[in-house]
Amino acid sequence: MILVCGEALYDLFLADSDPQGVIAIDAWPGGSPFNVAIGLARLGQAVSFFSSISTDVFGEGLVRLLRREGVWDGYLRRSPAPSTLSIVGADPQGTPHYSFRGDGAADRMILAADLPPKITGVRAIHVGSLATVVRPIGEALRLLVLRESSNCVVSYDPNVRPTVEPDPDVWRRAVSSLVPMSHLMKLSAEDIDYLYRGADPKTLAAQWIRAGARLVVLTRGELGVSAWTRGVHVQLPAERVTVVDTVGAGDAFQAALLAGLAETGALSPEAIAELDEPALSRLLAFAIRAAAVTCSRRGAVDACCRRRRSSRSRQSGKQNAEPCNCTFGVRRQSLCRMLGSCSQSGLEQVRNRFARRLNNS
């Protein structure tokens, strides 16, 4: 099982106002860790979510979605505090801009005393974004990672949001404290630019690997992806896609990274460190494809990958174990069903398959 920890909220997408000043609002469940958990579940991974979710109308919607998608809620806490709301506007290029309403919200109200006393059967823990820099949950998650980092893979995505915490020193301190305990670290070019303006990503990656990271991945939007281990550097281009919005693209990428590692038997610190160039390239190519599909649709959760399962497999909790001959090399078709065989090129075919699955859901 993969345990995802952090915020769960609603993204409120704002449309242009009419002459009377009325603004249409399109509300979608989200939050970076929440999106990653949904993405992992739709990729056929056993996943649980640790957070505090409100009992208000938004929180009820979040919990219903987690349960519907098969995310285990045994670590979930409920709170009468309100849900965090993220107000999202976009520039003409589709780049999102956020304004958060989260002070005193439920997903921040996790104390060290609220941590699960014992975690069993967890192969990886993913943390990131707002929850690592706001209190009290930020300190609680740091303690959780410190306690469990010797028992499983730790995945970390800073996913910097200056509108929530405008002080880059706060984000830098979070990175410095979590990197030594993290085996997989993913950042965006925007994160690097905000936190370490002018720094060479290769130099930063080498620094973080010396500190303890096994794999550092840098996403660069339309410029593609770079990744480093101690002995390997891979750089791949982005997929061409008509961008609707980029909300959740990084989260889809993160979910695909973790799912790909799990499916190929590489979800351990040792295996991640030993990824060779072909294996790392295949992993990144799949994650890039997942992010591209997300960019082609509105709303992170709606765009997240979905894998169809039979009623029998849903009831038993087991995944189908069908052989797969795609070049990604997975034993099950959970990844390939989402996006089509990795040996097939053409994003339009991928998008068409994905759309049919959503329409048939």
The pLDDT score that the predictor gives to residue 240 is: 75
Count, in order, helices (H) and strands (E) of the chain: 13, 14
What is the structure's pLDDT at 22?
82
Give the H/E segment covering residue 86.
Answer: strand 84-90
Q: Rounded to whole angstroms, how far apart are CA atoms 331 and 324?
A: 6
pLDDT of residue 164: 87
**β-bridge mates for residue 127, sequence order:** 156
- Tokens representing 99? 């304004």
> Is the backbone of residue 191 left (phi > 0), alpha (psi -120 to 50) or beta?
alpha
pLDDT in tens, 129-188: 999 999 999 999 999 999 999 999 999 999 998 988 999 999 999 999 999 999 999 999
Rounded Cα distance, 332 and 330, in Å: 6
CA distance 128 to 157: 5
pTM for the predicted model, two decimal places: 0.81
**So what's the pLDDT on residue 248?**
67
- Please, are residues 168 and 193 in contact by the beta-carbon 8 Å criterion? no
Backbone phi, psi, residue 84, to 5°: -70, 140
CB 78 within 8 A of CB 53: yes
All structural domains of the chain:
2-313 (3.40.1190.20)
Chain centre to alpha carbon of residue 19: 38
3-state SS of 172-196 is HHHHHHHHHHCCEEEEEHHHHHHHC
10 Å Cβ neighbour count for 21? 6
**Alpha carbon 132 to its chain's center:** 14
pLDDT tens, per residue, the chain with 361 residues: 999 999 999 988 877 667 777 888 888 899 999 999 999 999 999 999 999 999 999 999 999 999 999 999 999 999 999 999 988 776 766 676 778 899 999 999 999 999 998 898 999 999 999 999 999 999 999 999 999 999 999 999 999 989 889 999 999 999 999 999 999 999 999 999 999 999 999 999 999 999 999 999 999 988 999 999 999 999 999 877 665 555 668 899 999 999 999 999 999 999 999 999 999 999 999 999 888 876 655 544 454 444 433 333 333 333 333 333 333 333 333 343 433 333 333 333 333 433 343 344 3
How far, in Å, CA of 243 to CA of 45, rounded?
27
